Amino acid sequence: MSQLQAILNYQEIDTKLYKLEREIAGSEERKEYVKLKKFLETAPEKLDALEVKATSFKTEAQELAKKYAQLEETLKDFENLDELVTGGADIAFYRKKAQLIAEQIKKLKADLATLMTAIKSTDAEFQKMKKQVISAQKQYAEAAEKYKAVKASRDGEKKEIEGQLATLVKEVPQEMLEVYKTKRREKIFPVVGEMAGNRCPFCSMEPPLAAINQLTGGATIECDNCHRLIFRK
All domains in the chain, ordered by first residue: 3-163 (1.10.287.1490), 173-231 (no CATH)
Q: Is the pLDDT of residue 1 over 60?
A: no
Q: Quick: pLDDT tens for 134-159.
A: 999 999 999 999 999 999 999 999 99
Q: What is the pLDDT of residue 171?
A: 92
The pTM assigned to this predicted structure is 0.71
Which among 63-67, 92-96, 120-124, 228-232 has the top mean pLDDT? Answer: 228-232
Q: What is the pLDDT of residue 63?
A: 85
Q: What is the pLDDT of residue 57?
A: 85
Cα 224 to chain centroid distance, Å, stands at 30
Amino acid letter, residue 63: E
Amino acid letter, residue 207: P
CA-wise closest residue to 16 among 153, 149, 160: 160
Rounded to the nearest 10 degrees, what angle do helices 155-168 and 91-153 cross at?
A: 70
Average pLDDT estimate for 78-97: 63
Q: What is the pLDDT of residue 118?
A: 87
Q: Is the pLDDT of residue 193 over 90?
A: yes
Whole-number Å distance between alpha carbons of 94 and 144 = 73
More confident residue, 108 or 226: 226
Q: Is 76 helix (H, G, I), strand (E, B) or coil?
A: helix
Q: Quick: pLDDT tens for 6-56.
A: 999 999 999 999 999 999 999 999 999 999 999 999 999 999 999 898 888
Confidence class of residue 65 from pLDDT cuts 50, 70 and 90? confident
More confident residue, 14 or 61: 14
